[in-house]
Amino acid sequence: MNFSLQQNATELSAGSSVILPLAKAAEGHDDLITPCLKAADELLNGAITHAIASGDLSGKFKSSQLFLNAGSGPDRILVIGTGVADQLTGRKYHQLVQSAWSQISSNPGPSVLNQLTTIQTKNLDLNSKVRLTVEAIVQACYRFDQFKTTPKDVPPSTDMILLADTSSQVQLDQSVATAQAMDLCRDLGNLPGNICTPSYLAEQGHKLAAGSDKVTTQVLEEAEMETLGMHSLLSVGRGSAEPSKLIVINYQGGEKGAQPHVLVGKGITFDSGGISIKPGAAMDEMKYDMCGAASVMGTMQAVIKMDLKVNLVVIVASAENMPSSTASKPGDIFTTMSGKTVEVLNTDAEGRLVLCDALTYAERFKPKTVVDVATLTGACIIALGHHTSAVLSNDDAFATSLMSAGKQAFDHAWQLPMGEEYQAQLDSNFADLGNIGGRAAGTITAACFLSRFAESFTWAHLDIAGTAWTSGAKKGSTGRCVPLLVQHIVNQA
Q: Could you give the maximum distance between any two Cα atoms of the chain, in Å?
A: 83
Element (H, E) at 409: none
| CA distance linking residue 352 with residue 373, whole number of Å | 11
Cα 105 from chain centre: 24
Annotated catalytic residue 352: yes
Contacts of 326 (CB under 8 A, 6+ apart): 238, 239
Cα distance between residue 220 and residue 345, in whole Å? 27
Q: How many CB atoms lie within 10 A of CB 149?
A: 5
Contact yes or no for 141/183 (Cβ under 8 A): no
Distance separating alpha carbons of residues 485 and 244, to the nearest angstrom: 25
CB 296, CB 204: distance < 8 Å: no
Residues with Cβ within 8 Å of residue 239, at least 6 apart in sequence: 274, 275, 321, 322, 323, 324, 325, 326, 327, 328
Identify the active-site residue in 24, 129, 352, 452.
352
Alpha-carbon distance of 285 to 259, in angstroms, equals: 37
Catalytic annotation, pick one of 60, 62, 214, 278: 278
- CA atoms of 22 and 33, how far apart (whole Å): 7
47-54 vs 35-43: helix crossing angle, rounded to 10? 110
Cβ contacts of 310 within 8 Å, gap of 6 or more: 251, 253, 254, 260, 261, 303, 489, 492, 493
Catalytic residue flag (residue 207): no
Count CB atoms within 10 A of the CB of residue 438. Answer: 11
Distance, in Å, from the CA atom of 459 to the CA atom of 98, rounded to the nearest integer, reads 36
Quick check: helix, strand or coil at residue 432?
A: coil
Contacts for 169 with CB less than 8 Å, ≥ 6 apart: 5
Asked whether 216 and 340 are in contact (CB, 8 A), the reply is: no
Q: How far is residue 443's CA from residue 315's CA, in Å, rounded to a whole number?
A: 22
3-state DSSP assignment of residue 120: coil
Give the type of residue at 428.
S
Tell me how far the alpha carbon of residue 69 is from its chain's centroid: 39
Burial annotation 213-223 (CB, 10 A radius, 16+ → b, else e): ebbebebbebe
For the annotated catalytic residues, the residue numbers are 278, 352
